[in-house]
Chains A and B, each alone.
Chain A
């Protein structure tokens, strides 16, 4: 069952890409993922918690990430998400798809520039 997108802003399917991209830098918990996306994009992109957790479950179910409880630097036990090999492959595929999409969008919006 699809998770209802609570707020337009992140195109459906892009959330997976954002999560995977964030996990490239190492294992992270849910709150960390939200914060990372927010700060890297200068708060342009905000992730709804209502979408984040189901998305994490979905990615774990298809095997792109794994999860486990680990002690963080602050000493707090947090559930950390880790990218798998399959996740890396998925990320590459998503990235190239995204590149194609943006290129196509750019071409459509600024035909002149895209040609150069």
Chain B
């Protein structure tokens, strides 16, 4: 099993290396290398998934640990952990990745950096599998940064566009803020427990190596990494900008897998979060859910709507972790990965079609992503329309879909949490409010894109359905949005009970002192909250859809009127609550001003007077020393003096040398006689 895991990990890496070095020289720019490698990992993940279903053991876990390096006092271990969660995550990653690879072969056709694109896509798949497989915090951190860099490279794929390279930089830098926190958290745990391995850290926490306060801080530091990666408020700003990357990248990285890494991390670490930390996590998640949903309502760029929707859904997952229904957070991650990747790929198909239509008309001005330029496309793009509708229904939480099951469970968890802690009633409002808005803005997207009259007839006439390499992944992902895949072996569409809930077992918290509810208590509470939450969420989903129908399909209520009446909220939502502007004004501009001030001080004062002053003094001093002392005194008098005195004595002593042999012989004789004389004396 561990070998399988390593193979799954390494295959995309091999594809990456091949692509980056010889990709351009291979036929078809080597896309088959990446597609093949990822498809192979999908087969292996499916095999592991099959094994998991056959075993049907919630406790199943295989661990392969080895020493990475040993410094005597410090031994760092690396390893692979394969349990049911890992297998499910591997399947999600490799499935979406394979579909996106296949989709990209058509979507990116003719791109200038085609092989580079596939290389980075493979690099990303490798890193994401690494996060999922790691059994220790350090390993997660390493792969965490690797997905960060592949995300950076792929957002900036079209780096000729300033907006793309800026978005890539922004994503990288904003993530860095969270990652610093995560690193501090890892080091806090490492210092206290002396190990990076999950099981050692958990055991250390359970035995009380960290006080409750430190544990809260350390947990929140780790969670900061999740805030950055999963685009939670206040670090959500990078994700909507990341839509500058190619759409399949958005589907894979910024909707289905990488942004879910934060949720996965929170899921893995749930047992060490203290109640205080969990409450903060719940509020961050809940607030992000409603906050991003409000922004999504007014966006006109089709990908921006989906981006904010992703932020909002990630907020749901984080909320689920915060309220203790964290297995359902993971459940939502899995279901969401399928239908949100589907939605992004559908939007890619729409953009592809719009782009080609504009291209035919030689129109390079209009924005192919703006929904106001679309309309009535359902007749022209039947497959895209149908698959997108199914995914939208799933995202809105309509019964018989996977989204209904997972979202309903999270809402039930939130409701049950609030019953235990009535002071946190806001969380319920956040959850249900976001559910309403989700249904509303998703159907707004559908109606604006596929219904109504086309804005420009000639564009509409040039719209064509995308090729089958693009529609096949759409169909696959839309199919996975049905409840059946998640409730087997049961057929009840209103209960999430199925293989997932059986196999993904919730663990009790290991925080000492019984501060948290046990998994059993949480499950009990959710069971009681299930029916009211379900009824409420169905009601809310349909009212959201209904409102969208009235406003955008039948146009009985004018959207402009409402916008005019709610001028302030509308403006806030349209401008994304001015978060970017606030950061610009209160963080970035002051930093730049400070930097300029320091640069001024550095150049004008420090460099000019102190550094250059030192230089001048040194120069003066060395002139003095070099010319007066060294040359005039040392060289001229002492060094040359030695030479001169030698030649002076030489001139004198030269006179003794006569060159006459007999003369020398006399000296020798004299010497010998002297020796005898002195000896005798």
A binds B: no
Which of A's residues lie within 8 Å of B, judged by CB?
none
Which of B's residues lie within 8 Å of A, judged by CB?
none
